[in-house]
Chain A
Amino acid sequence: MNSERDDIEAQDRRDLVRRGSFLKGMAASFAALSGGGCVFRPPEGKVVPLMEQPAGVFPGETLWYATTCGACTASCGALVKVRDGRPIKLEGNPEHPLSRGGLCARGQASVLDLYDSHRLRFPLLDGKEASWAALDAFVSERLNGVAVLSETIVSPTLRFAVERFLKKFPGSRLVEYDSLSASAILDAHARTHGVRTLPAYHLGKARVIVSFDADFLGSWISPVEFTKDWSPNRQPEREWDTMSWHAQFESRLSVTGANADLRVPLRPSEQYETLRQIGLAVASLVFWKGPKPPAGEPSSLNAAAVSDTAGQLARAAGRSLVLSGSPDAATQCLVNWINAMLGNYGETLVLDPAGLQKRGSETEFDRLLGDLEKGAVKGVVVLSGNPVYDHPKGAELAKFLDSAKLSLSLSGRPDETAVRCRAVAPDHHPLESWSDAEAVSGVLSLSQPAIAPLYSTRAAIESLSLWAGEPMSALDALRGRWKKSVLPGADFERRWHEALRKGVVLSDVKNPKNLRFDGRVLERLSPNPLRSAEGGFELSAYASPVLGDGRQANNPWLQETPDPISKTAWGNYASFSPEDAAKLGIVEGRVVRLSAGAASIELPAQIQKGHARGVVSAALGYGRTHAGPVAANFPVQKMLPVEREELSGADLFPLTAYSSVRVESTGRMSAPAKTQTYDEMSDPITGRRRPMVQETTLQDYFKDATSGRGKAMEVGPSLWPAHDYPGPKWAMAIDLNVCTGCSSCVVACGLENNVPVVGKAEVRKSRDMHWMRIDRYYNENGETAFQPMLCQHCDNAPCETVCPVLATLHSSEGMNMQVYNRCVGTRYCANNCPYKVRRFNWFDYAHEDLTQNLALNPDITVRTRGVMEKCSFCVQRVQSAKADARAENRAVTDGEVRPACAQSCPADAIVFGDLNDPKSAVAKKLGDPRSYAVLSELGVGPSVFYMTKVRNKKV
């Protein structure tokens, strides 16, 4: 019945609301409460069958298609779950060689962008609806001498189409840029290796990783791939010294820094000199004869850390890796220098085959602005990206867009750039279009449409080829190109379908060039491009792992997911070190004004442990003016009077043109919406540490595998008889050592389970609804630990005994079940839950956006207000796995059931399975000496186990 139900879902929901209010009315007027029963009949529902069922499609059956995630240029492989013709979930494609089944928070959430009712529904001409014909006519006569401006094009087919387009119109050229630019890295390689390209990094091979402000586990270049590489080396269950050593020198506390073994706060301006000193130390260790770089301004870093780091690097020569996120080419040159000295090129980072995720060039962008100034370029075609918003010089570009002969955007949204353009030819959402992607040369993945275009949009490839005068469908273009250059030779059809099924093919790169490091550039380096700010603060602008560069700012799920470090949702904030905060006399939530040159923004202050002094850091991607109502932070919960704030956060991009800013405090306060308000592992009164996170060092671990596992208080006998589990006993193991806190599981869980989004005002009231949350603690040394916290499905669950109406019970498979439709909402269970993982529906949370409702999972009830909800171990997945197994007369195999969180985890930190099966992965994890249960001393018998966090402290 499910599928038919969905067809009339919207209808039904409206009825539900009506019924609800009917009953409420009775209750509110204190009429006979038990009345509503038989007097009431739901309205007639209609079932309208298809005319013709497509072959192989069954109503209510789930289909999976392999495609490519379009959320960023990392282009991870994805599987899209299609139910009755609707994509409802994105998951990682295990066959993709880079992402290997992982998918980040942004990728997970991008399915909601498809159903965003604020996408463009038709072409625009001078801001008014226009027909495609009119638009094409308008565009095609203005195409001479235009520049195609785009963020890095990862699709070879699209690039091919662009090239043909450019050939057709002499004087036109392609300018690529990146909102999160890696331009400096490319430029540096142009100078040191003579080829302007991004290396392909192989963190998996690196035993020692030293990163300078490169948040490679969070948002740097290709976080999922890097996490997949990084995490296996963080498992200590091996022989001595195979656990990698990871040092992070950074200006603010990033997700990557939070997971580092050695973490050193460092101002951006000190990076050059620090790298140089490490470089010199390494040089002496590896007897480097080549030229040396000139000194920069002194670094506050102590010599010990330098020599130690250098020592680690040298010892792991060829198996080490130095990374930097610096926007300064000189600094990047030093990075190349060190990697070259250590012989890491060809091992842990490779220039050919190269990384293609970022190709943007700042100089090119500036040249374009210059040419527009001179009038050498007549018009701009913004192929993708949103430069007006997400480039520091966006404002200048906007000026020309207003005046240029042709200003055309292919954006699918009325974003900051599109609204400044005269013509907009909206592109499909990635889930609606045929395309491909080559994130690392040789790795080609396909995107296929999972649904017919919702609105009157047109694929960029089609638009370009049409304007170029040789119209062809995106599919033909794609197949044509693949037939020619990817799958040449016989039986193309078979291999094409094979590729479609897998979603990815590997084509070996022809005769890779062996590029040599050229040291002569070193003398010519100009040090100190960034001066440490006089008086002011240095600015460190970063992309948060959840919102990235803000292209998905209208995505309610990303806005509601808290930043892994600050645990703040709905808006950005300016972070200061405690010392600076004291100096400025500001408290958490005090609104401060950051200004440099003409640009000036106001943000609430946030006091951040481990933050570098003299630096203020804030997240990009917020403060968007044309993203839609969610980014504009309208109250998601309609029923209560929430304080309206015009924008969620403030736009930092204009400031990124400057390396330092002035900071002054405005008198006002603006409380951040935090999902976790107390940060320490120890309580504030006794200062005694609580044992929920158990950690040790690698040395101690090898002395005693159970080290760090505090003495648990012994548990008295249980009053209840033990359950017996004839079938499976589901359980979960979470490895604290590899959990990076990236929050991809939080989003995956929310989308899988229709968890409501409640909005800023409610999050401020600590009413976030996340079933899966990630607790972030600082220990006594200020080190960070992440702990995913979800329903522990206790054997002696305190919640089960107290519910007066039996709305929460224990299943025969060890799960703690919550029956929404039986719940009367006394909240006793939540009070009695030691883990505080139960969530209460304080209101009827908004489901007005019927388009957005198409993303709801039809296997899960949409909860009404007044009922309790919580993690169910994705029981719907267990059910369908069991049904599949029965249909094939077999037992459920280990690893067949994967809850949304476990499936999405890029670090494979979460293992789920049957404890009654001794061979199952989770049973093995339980046997591991590192495994412990949180609050086991209460005798509640959790079914979720954690693995002690092991820090690799060499010093």
Chain B
Amino acid sequence: MSARVSPLREPWVDGGKTLARITEDVCAPLERGPAPSWYWGLGASLTALLIGKIVVVHQIWTGIGTWGLNKTVGWSWDITNFVFWVGIGHAGTLISAILFLFRQKWRTSINRAAEAMTIFAVMCAGLFPLIHMGRPWLAYWVFPYPNELGPLWVNFRSPLLWDVFAISTYFIISATFWYVGLWPDLATVRDRSQGLRKKIFGVLSLGWDGSHRSWSRYETMYLLLAGLATPLVFSVHTIVSFDFATSVIPGWHTTIFPPYFVCGAIFSGFAMVMTLMIIARKVMRFEEYITLRHIDAMCKITLLTSMIVALAYGTELFMAWYSGNPYEQFAFLNRIYGPYRAGYALMVFCNVLVPQALWFKAVRRNPLWVFPISILINVGMWLERFVIITVSLHRDYLPSSWTMYYPTYVEIGTFLGSFGLFFTCFFLFCRFLPMIACSEVKAISTFAQENRETPRG
């Protein structure tokens, strides 16, 4: 579709690969036995997952009391983790849907992994609203379904209910989008394999035959779903932010939350994508597909969103002062000078100061720099949610009920477990599915660019 690439622009795939070579490279991890590092990684994440499972079972059996919450602080790590994971997810959808619509070619080699990340992150996120309930075995009451209580329906005014719909929609759409994108490559793998794998991939690829017709329909559908997914990037975290924005608690009741949360989400999401990609390109030997240019591009977006987040922090403080509302003012002073001030300071350091290093190309193109930065950003973004949720709650209106909150081993274990779930899924994904959108990469490979026939007439 686009014109012949100018020789000035560096190609997005190094090593002047032929199409066959690309197929070989992408399918290699599936076909050759996994590297020992993969086993180590999977083992670690399974351990974390197991720990998480144990503490969650203990908590559900014994009661929420096993957490550190109290009469004043009713949410802390649970919802912090929820918002954190939902945020992580956003980058994937942005990359695969929005960048697709904007024809950003560099997305091709990372979009599938990023989207897989989205799905796993949303799974982790969904876990927390479920287990944070006092009676999780009645969780199905939050869905509107016919019953013989009158019937008795759900409260459509509750932001928590909006969450239910937002998250479930988000999961369904992302999963479908991801799956549809997989079809051509699933077929490729099918054609290269025999036996059981051939059967499985045969079913999964819905009998793809690579004809022009399937291609055109595939692309129509992919375009449609991209369009469907795009608004979700904004809507989901907006709705999540309503949990707080619509409440009366000073520090929660803030109108800038929707954009603030969305940017924060993309910010942390990209940080997480970078973390994963930098590992993956090493472990899966994809340096030539996920090049330093990709990392560079992501760094730029990260830098941008970091600035927006910084702006949001400033605006919050200003509005608190400008509102003239003493409760509001105290809520924010309490973040800075209160018992949890360390958390606030670290948050500002990680989310505002650290990313400034990305102004320098040398940093952006050096994984050894970018990797720690991306980690720090995720730490900072987690802290941001903790500050907003817990630090606002622990000192609200009546001083008589001010308390402190300290996590217990159960909450920490659950958080660990969510990482376990996330990485377990990701490792399995790397091993059993083509981690790079093979067909799309081929389209932008230098080989393809040079050998395309010029349009007639």
* Contact B71–A36 (Cβ < 8 Å): no
* Contact A767–B133 (Cβ < 8 Å): no
Nearest chain-B residue to A29 (Cβ)? B57
Give 7 A-B pairs besides A640-B66, A843-B63 with Cβ atoms closer than 8 angstroms: A26-B137, A683-B330, A683-B395, A804-B161, A805-B155, A822-B141, A827-B134
Known: A685-B338, A686-B330, A824-B135. A777 touches B400 (CB 8 A): yes
Say whether B326 faces chain A, with CB atoms less than 8 Å apart: yes
Partner among A683, A768, A826, A938 whose Cβ is within 8 Å of the Cβ of B399: A683
Partner among A640, A676, A832, A844 whose Cβ is within 8 Å of the Cβ of B247: A832
Q: Kindly count the residue-residue contacts between A and B in the assembled complex, taking CB atoms under 8 Å apart.
A: 200
Q: Which of B363-418 contact A (CB under 8 A)?
A: 393, 395-404
Instruction: Report the Cα distance A26→B138, complex, angstroms.
Output: 11
B315-358 to A contact mask, C-beta < 8 Å, 1/0? 00000000001100110011001100000000000000000000
Partner among B71, B133, B155, B396 whose Cβ is within 8 Å of the Cβ of A834: B396
Instruction: Report the Cα distance A450→B400, complex, angstroms.
Output: 40
Q: Please, could you name 9 A-B residue pairs with CB atoms under 8 Å apart, sorted by A?
A: A766-B403, A767-B65, A803-B160, A804-B142, A827-B132, A832-B248, A840-B64, A866-B135, A867-B134
B residues contacting A by CB (< 8 A) are 57, 60-66, 68-72, 74-75, 129, 132-142, 152-155, 157-161, 164, 243, 246-249, 325-326, 329-330, 333-334, 337-338, 393, 395-404
Partner among B69, B137, B334, B393 whose Cβ is within 8 Å of the Cβ of A36: B137
Instruction: Report the Cα distance A775→B63, complex, angstroms.
Output: 28
Partner among B64, B137, B337 whose Cβ is within 8 Å of the Cβ of A24: B137
Q: Which of A912-949 contact B (CB under 8 A)?
A: 934-935, 938, 940
Say whether A705 faces chain B, with CB atoms less than 8 Å apart: no
Q: Which residues of B contact A838 (CB under 8 A)?
A: 71
Q: Which residues of B contact A639 (CB under 8 A)?
A: 62-63, 65
* Contact A824–B60 (Cβ < 8 Å): no
Q: Which residues of B contact A832 (CB under 8 A)?
A: 247-249
A677 vs chain B, min Cβ distance (A): 6
* Contact A27–B137 (Cβ < 8 Å): yes
Partner among B60, B66, B132, B326 whose Cβ is within 8 Å of the Cβ of A686: B326
Say whether A781 faces chain B, with CB atoms less than 8 Å apart: no
Q: Which of A770-820 contact B (CB under 8 A)?
A: 773, 775-777, 787, 789, 798, 801-806
Known: A827-B74, A828-B160, A830-B74. A27 touches B60 (CB 8 A): yes
* Contact A775–B396 (Cβ < 8 Å): no
Partner among A766, A844, A934 whose Cβ is within 8 Å of the Cβ of B70: A766
A residues contacting B by CB (< 8 A) are 23-29, 33-34, 36, 637, 639-640, 676-681, 683, 685-686, 688, 690, 692, 713, 762, 765-768, 773, 775-777, 787, 789, 798, 801-806, 822-828, 830-832, 834-836, 838-844, 865-868, 934-935, 938, 940
Nearest chain-A residue to B135 (Cβ)? A866
* Contact A831–B393 (Cβ < 8 Å): yes
Known: A823-B135, A834-B398, A940-B248. A765 touches B70 (CB 8 A): yes
Nearest chain-A residue to B70 (Cβ)? A766
Partner among A677, A679, A840 whose Cβ is within 8 Å of the Cβ of B74: A840
* Contact B325–A801 (Cβ < 8 Å): no
B118 vs chain A, min Cβ distance (A): 23
Nearest chain-B residue to A690 (Cβ)? B399
Instruction: Report the Cα distance A287→B75, complex, angstroms.
Output: 69
Q: Which residues of B contact A824 (CB under 8 A)?
A: 133-136, 138-139, 141-142
Instruction: Report the Cα distance A835→B397, complex, angstroms.
Output: 7
Partner among B64, B141, B160 whose Cβ is within 8 Å of the Cβ of A866: B64
B244 vs chain A, min Cβ distance (A): 9
Known: A676-B400, A832-B247, A834-B396. A843 touches B62 (CB 8 A): yes
Q: Which residues of B contact A677 (CB under 8 A)?
A: 402-404
A723 vs chain B, min Cβ distance (A): 15
B158 vs chain A, min Cβ distance (A): 4
* Contact B396–A836 (Cβ < 8 Å): yes
* Contact A825–B133 (Cβ < 8 Å): yes
Interface-central residue, B129, B158, B164, B398, by most chain A CB under 10 Å: B398
Q: Which residues of B contact A839 (CB under 8 A)?
A: 71
Q: Which residues of A contact B158 (CB under 8 A)?
A: 801-804, 828
* Contact B333–A685 (Cβ < 8 Å): yes
Q: Which residues of B contact A777 (CB under 8 A)?
A: 399-400
* Contact A836–B401 (Cβ < 8 Å): yes
Known: A827-B75, A866-B135. A28 touches B57 (CB 8 A): yes
Partner among A24, A678, A685, A830 whose Cβ is within 8 Å of the Cβ of B61: A24
Q: Which residues of A contact B247 (CB under 8 A)?
A: 798, 802, 831-832
Known: A27-B137, A681-B399, A798-B248. A804 touches B69 (CB 8 A): no
A603 vs chain B, min Cβ distance (A): 24
* Contact B400–A789 (Cβ < 8 Å): yes
B311 vs chain A, min Cβ distance (A): 25
Instruction: Report the Cα distance A701→B248, complex, angstroms.
Output: 33
A564 vs chain B, min Cβ distance (A): 13
Q: Which residues of A contact B62 (CB under 8 A)?
A: 639-640, 843
* Contact A825–B135 (Cβ < 8 Å): yes
